[in-house]
Structure 1
């Protein structure tokens, strides 16, 4: 993450807040004013010696610049990395180091209050780790997996946290609990964009961390833990070593979630912290629920959806999960219109590829999927509810969306999903649906005065 901060500064994409701020509500209140624009580095946080970075993912153009590609190419960088990893999972193996930047300092005492963990929203239940990468081993195979979870501090050495349905970590914990065993994990805070983005990819299983190696063309080093057999990221700013306690559930939340509402309070999984290590001069990383989460999920879901659907339907050209869909719930898919019924096929496959989706809109290649106005125009002028509406009842829903009817066990839920074919009817292409065009001109060639 240090390289990211340096790059942001060099490119004019970093705001430095030099006044002392309180991590309890004030930090997030200031950060919110910059949301979607430049990243924010809080240099002085009350009661802590460590700065805090916010906003690394809330501007898609900045993310593209960090990867050195146009913004619309970022999902394809991720999709290409997934494909390369799946072809050869043994390529670009990571080293596991004994000494690394992330363990320059081994804290003598375990005390989570020494970290500048913020309380973001006004009704949040406590201080949270919301952008840290949890590494765990599959207890049946030993394979390494990585994911991101919201984790609330409940004591100097204790965290309660949420596991979304479908996460491999949930399977690992269930298997360990059946054997009456704790599950060791490491929690890495302050990583670069590639490992962070990979941690949010769904359902890829053992070896998923290695996808980041294919994104940047080199291995991302790991390091040995002080107390367990699960490694951590060698370049992290902070590392927390912990174990998930078998059969223990304690209250977690409320927490400001991706939906713009609070996730409800309930008894959830518990970690006991065994060690904390860090860099000599670390920077803590946090995210605001909102555009950062929407983009993080959007980039990875767009990659996963494109990879899955384009494999079956080659006419798919691009996928975008717009901010209004909270990164989880709406997809716009751009499709080459080559045959009758292709939009319906694309919509079904898109829902299969990403189960959290509740609305999918298929559009032609002349529609700018990144423009809400253009997509709305296509729906208004090309979508016929009598023939182009797909309604899927009783489908799997994402439990954080308040419109989902939860199952009795609270681990899943059902919702009605909607697909919209906003493509020109295949048998009506021609003058009726020819878009108005104007001559493309270069304004630099003209003497123009702006009053």
Structure 2
């Protein structure tokens, strides 16, 4: 089930809403239901979806009951699946490739008044260095039109970045915003200490 499949179950909000606390305020006032906003003050022409992935929806997307999740996670770690490769022409992620990158035009919200600014939080960071790949979730602060800032906690990605820096290398990174729930399934999000392709 793709992310777009979930959008059909969401309420569409057409009133103008701001990325600066507006999504949070509207979501809170409406019981944090699945909502697609199609009139964002700071990003005309863009839409944003909130509350799309809950534990129950994740479990439904991967075909298990919520109480089975922990056992499924353990099984998945021991039984990784092979990724399905598609050509660039078939990949829907290449539908919108701008000539000039300006991350500020993406509807990244300023969630909490205590935050320093706009943060992307529904995304996965995929990092690779020396044949080792890591897939993890990290909030990303929107610093400017071409830079995001990530706080690396003492786990696999930080170890990977530290080792690369110590050896004078940079780590190759890809960021997937709003991945389909199948990408969030236990066998997909993990780190390995061995080389992967």
Per-residue deviation at 1:44? 1.8
Per-residue deviation at 1:32? 2.4
Aligned to 2:20: 24
1:398-417 alignment to 2 at 5 Å?
A: none
Q: Distance in 1 between matches of 2:187 and 2:72?
A: 15
5+ residue gaps, structure 2, are none
Change (3 A) 1:15 1:93: closer
Q: Distance in 2 between matches of 1:200 and 1:129?
A: 20
Quick check: 1:147–1:199 contact (8 Å CA) kept in 2?
A: no
CA deviation string 1:65-112 (max 9, x = no partner): 333433322333333322322xxxxx5343153332111222111111
Identify the match of residue 78 of structure 1 among 70, 73, 77. Answer: 73
Q: Distance in 1 between matches of 2:104 and 2:174?
A: 18
Per-residue deviation at 1:54? 1.1
Quick check: 1:39–1:56 contact (8 Å CA) kept in 2?
A: yes
Aligned to 1:254: none
Q: When the two structures are aligned, how many residues end up with a matched partner?
A: 193
1:195 aligns with 2:197: no
CA deviation string 1:237-276 (max 9, x = no partner): xxxxxxxxxxxxxxxxxxxxxxxxxxxxxxxxxxxxxxxx
1:106-255 alignment to 2 at 5 Å?
A: 106-139=97-130, 142-166=131-155, 168-198=156-186, 204-206=192-194
Quick check: 1:134–1:188 contact (8 Å CA) kept in 2?
A: yes
Aligned to 1:3: 5
Q: What secondary structure, in the 3-state scheme, does the structure 2 residue paired with 1:134 have?
A: strand
Identify the match of residue 51 of structure 1 among 31, 39, 47. Answer: 47
1:305-384 alignment to 2 at 5 Å?
A: none
CA deviation string 1:378-434 (max 9, x = no partner): xxxxxxxxxxxxxxxxxxxxxxxxxxxxxxxxxxxxxxxxxxxxxxxxxxxxxxxxx
Relative contact order, higher structure (CA 8 A, sep 6+): 2
For normalisation by structure 2, the TM-score amounts to 0.84
5+ residue gaps, structure 1, are 86-90, 211-451
Q: Distance in 2 between matches of 1:119 and 1:71?
A: 30
Change (3 A) 1:19 1:200: farther
The structure in which a higher percent of residues are strand is: 1
Identify the match of residue 63 of structure 1 among 48, 53, 58. Answer: 58
Per-residue deviation at 1:169? 1.4
Q: CA RMSD in A?
A: 2.6
